[in-house]
Amino acid sequence: MTTTASQARDVQIFPIAADTTAIRARSWNRLRFEIEYALERGTTANSYLIQGDKTALIDVPGESFTEIFIHQLSPQEKAEGLPLWSDLWAQLRWVTQGYTGSDRLTADLKSLDYLVLGHINKNRAATLTALLDLAPQITIICSNPAALLLPELLPDRDLDIRVIKSDETLDLGKGHQLTFIPTPTPRWPDELCTYDAGSKILYTDKFFGAHRCGDQVFDEDWDELIEDRRYYFDCLMAPNARQVESALDKFADLETRGYAPGHGPLVRYGFMELTKQYRHWSQQQKTREQRVALIYASAYGNTATIAQALARGVTKAGVAVESINAEHADPDDIKAAVEKSAGFLMGSPTLGGHAPTQMQTALGIVLSNASKTQLAGVFGSFGWSGEAIDLLENKLKDGGYSLGFEPIRVKFKPDDTTIKYCEEVGTDFAQSLKKAKRAKAPRTPATSVEQAVGRLVGSLSVVTAKQGDVSSAMLASWVSQATFTPPGLTVAVAKDRAIESLLYPGSPFVLNILAEGKYIKPMKHFLKPFGPGEDRFEGIETDTNEAGIPVLKEAIAYLECEVSKRMECGDHWLVYALVKAGELQDADAKTAVHHRKSGTHY
């Protein structure tokens, strides 16, 4: 099967171990408007087939892949000479160097014994429904939370469900003995990982994934993937650091040769390093001085999407998040999280004009235990009204709490602009907490070393970037030429800058260099605090380059750049970029230089 990047959807099938095949439904474009897909590098939804004496399919992709995954055709079309899906499945193969297709994937759906669900939601239920139409004999293996949810998602089905307890096993024959490991998180309380003792592959569903589409099945260039995996972790796992560490502890006892995640390339070559990094990234969250309790419920996933974007913004600013799904949390856990947090965020859908019972219970716990000095925030998604958001807002205000931002109200699904707005709200919320903490701390004069560091100087520039409908800018003084050939430069970007999420490898930006004696106006403009979603360029004269990125008319020169690499350096990212084009707009002007007295601030 020949594939090209121009195809929006396709299926890649590849043998990964004895009797074991990966079935990767691929999207070359951004799959959904959720912050975890914001790098826009496509994704894969991975399923796996293990064929012992018994046959098990591990996971199904979401609804956007149902048709190409199932290839379900009606009996009428079969009569006209078109094959049923089971025939097509037997024909599909992936041809690559060293693999001629002689080991074709062959599977009769009528002989498929088990479907193991890493997690289930409405999106995956559409594909599950189509699969059960062809193979109603399947026994579904899942965790207890998934078993409770399945009848709601498929109410008209008589399901054969086997509920798994911790460390329960299933022998498929031919050495393939599966061990099931419940690894619940607030976002996926039904999460279930599966270990195959025969292949020594750990099927990790949401853990160790990356939203990146490509022809590589495995992670041969694992070090080049680490940025994608870090971004995936920051978006999905950082708010669940406690649960991630618990899962890592469970995985540590397994003799594992690689990870088979639900998204992105399989982890074979870099799995030891990635495991180490997951532990390190989780511990980073635990050592944060401040944390935010993020309490939410989500009927259709939209409120959870907002929560995820807020959490990403908070963690970017160096504040930890304790994510709590009110639908599954113990009241004592909510109480404990609120009591040890500097602030809290509450989000709810509106169902029948009300907040879900679990959110009303959580609100009562918060009102009884949160300090009035804690900063609060309210958000939610709704279809027609939004009374739940009003309830949260009014009860918190009546209780004497201050809101850190205007309640976020999203009708139906959030779009890309809304997701970016929510991220910036989260960052601003965290910065407010840090500012309040600094105000209480005694001021100390700069040390001699700090004053010496402050004598380092840099040119004053404005970095501008645009991705889709989202544009941003920042004043930059930590800029330096890095290479002659190819021409390259470095820019240090604070982790909590809004523009940071637009500066990943492959992203274009413009470096606008300011003039000596003429920099005060643009400097003051880009130094001022901008509200989430606020237009950074209002009142500033700009042109745009071919990529649509703003170019400042006041700049004496500008450089069109593309991010090549990023390196994490304490509280900043060091971005190395290649210069692709540029123009000198004022040959007589000199570059503005920024002088500082201390190395502790800009």
Q: What is the three-state SS of 267-316?
A: ECCCHHHHHHHHHHHHHHHHCCCCEEEEEECCCCCHHHHHHHHHHHHHHH
pLDDT band per the 50, 70, 90 thresholds, residue 250:
very high
Domain's final residue, options 396, 419, 440: 440
Whether residues 346 and 486 fall in one domain: no
Domain, as residue range, for 537: 449-594
Give the model's pLDDT for residue 217: 96
- Identify which has the larger pLDDT, 458 or 139: 139
Whether residue 260 contacts residue 207, with contact meaning beta carbons closer than 8 Å, is answered with no
161-215 pLDDT, tens digit per residue, is 999 987 789 999 999 999 999 999 999 999 999 999 999 999 999 999 999 999 9
Residue 109 within a domain: yes
DSSP label at residue 498: G
Residue 601 counted as domain residue? no
Q: Could you tell me if 65 and 9 are in contact, meaning their C-beta atoms sit under 8 angstroms apart?
A: yes
Looking at residue 7, what is its pLDDT?
Answer: 58
Tens of pLDDT along 310-334? 999 999 999 999 999 999 999 999 9
Q: What is the mean pLDDT of residues 246-267?
A: 97
What pLDDT, on a 0 to 100 scale, did the predictor assign at position 166? 79
Output the average pLDDT for the chain.
Answer: 90
| Percent with pLDDT over 90 in the chain | 82
What count of Cα atoms within 13 Å lies in the side-chain half-sphere of residue 76?
Answer: 0
Q: What is the pLDDT of residue 107?
A: 52
Give pLDDT, residue 30: 82
Is there a domain that residue 174 lies in? yes
Q: What CATH number does residue 214 fall under?
A: 3.60.15.10
Q: Which residues contact 188 (CB under 8 A, 6 or more apart)?
A: 119, 205, 206
Distance CA 12, CA 95 (A): 9
Q: Which two tokens stand for residue 577?
A: 């970029």
Specify whether 245 is located in the same domain as 343. no
In tens, the pLDDT along 472-495 reads 999 999 999 999 999 999 999 999
Residue 3 lies in a domain: no
Distance CA 264, CA 221 (A): 13
Task: Note whether 175 and 198 are within 8 A (CB).
Answer: yes
Answer yes or no: are the C-beta atoms of 486 and 438 closer than 8 Å.
no
Total domains present in the chain: 3
Q: Name the DSSP letter for residue 65.
A: G
Judge whether 4 lies within some domain.
no
Q: Is the pLDDT of residue 77 over 50?
A: no
Mean pLDDT of 88-95: 34
pLDDT of residue 108: 62
Same-domain pairing of 392 and 488: no
Residue 200 lies in a domain: yes
What is the predicted pLDDT for the residue at 31?
Answer: 77
Mean pLDDT confidence for 371-397: 96
Q: What is d(CA 307, CA 419) in angstroms, rounded to the nearest whole number? A: 10
- For the sheet containing 201-205, what is the strand order? 169-171, 177-182, 192-196, 201-205, 258-261
What is the distance between the alpha carbons of residues 374 and 344, in angstroms, rounded to a whole number? 7
Task: Indicate if the pLDDT at residue 101 is higher than 90.
Answer: no
pLDDT at 1: 36
Residues 403 and 508 reside in one and the same domain: no
Mean pLDDT confidence for 142-169: 94
Residues 336-359: tens digit of each pLDDT: 999 999 999 999 999 999 999 999
Residue 563 lies in a domain: yes
- Does one domain contain both 328 and 474? no
Domain stops at, among 371, 405, 440: 440
**Start-end of H helices in 370-514:** 387-398, 416-440, 448-453
Stated as kind and residue range, the H or E segment containing 584 is strand 572-584
Taking 70 as the threshold, does the pLDDT of residue 6 lie above it?
A: no
User: Of the residues 283, 312, 332, which one is the last residue of a structural domain?
Assistant: 283
- For residues 257 and 308, state if they share a domain: no
In a shared domain, residues 408 and 493: no
Output the DSSP codes for 430-451.
HHHHHHHHHHHSPP-PPPHHHH
pLDDT for position 187 = 93
Q: Looking at the structure, tell me whether residues 46 and 181 fall in a common domain.
A: yes
pLDDT at 441 (0 to 100): 87
| 412-461 pLDDT tens trace | 999 999 999 999 999 999 999 999 999 988 888 889 999 999 999 989 99
- Rg of the chain on CA atoms, in Å: 26
Q: Is residue 600 part of a domain?
A: no
On the question of pLDDT at 106 being above 80, the answer is no
Beta carbons of 210 and 232 less than 8 angstroms apart: yes
Mean pLDDT of 8-23: 92
Is there a single domain that holds both residue 497 and residue 435? no
For 246, counting Cβ atoms within 10 Å of its Cβ (0-12 exposed, 13-18 middle, 19+ buried), the class is middle
Give the three-class secondary structure for 578.
strand
Could you tell me if 69 and 23 are in contact, meaning their C-beta atoms sit under 8 angstroms apart? yes
Residues 275 and 324 in one domain: no
With a CB cutoff of 8 Å and minimum separation 6, the contacts of 174 are 18, 19, 52, 53, 198
Q: Same domain, yes or no, for 268 and 341?
A: no
Tokens for 364? 């009562």
* Same-domain pairing of 22 and 148: yes
Tell me the mean pLDDT in the region 542-554: 96
**The pair of three-digit structure tokens given for residue 395, joined into one six-digit string:** 């009860």
Two structure tokens written together for 128: 């599950």
Distance separating alpha carbons of residues 366 and 556, to the nearest angstrom: 54
Query: Are the beta carbons of 31 and 42 closer than 8 angstroms?
Result: yes
pLDDT in tens, 499-535: 999 999 999 999 999 999 999 999 999 999 999 999 9
Whole-number pLDDT of residue 67 = 87
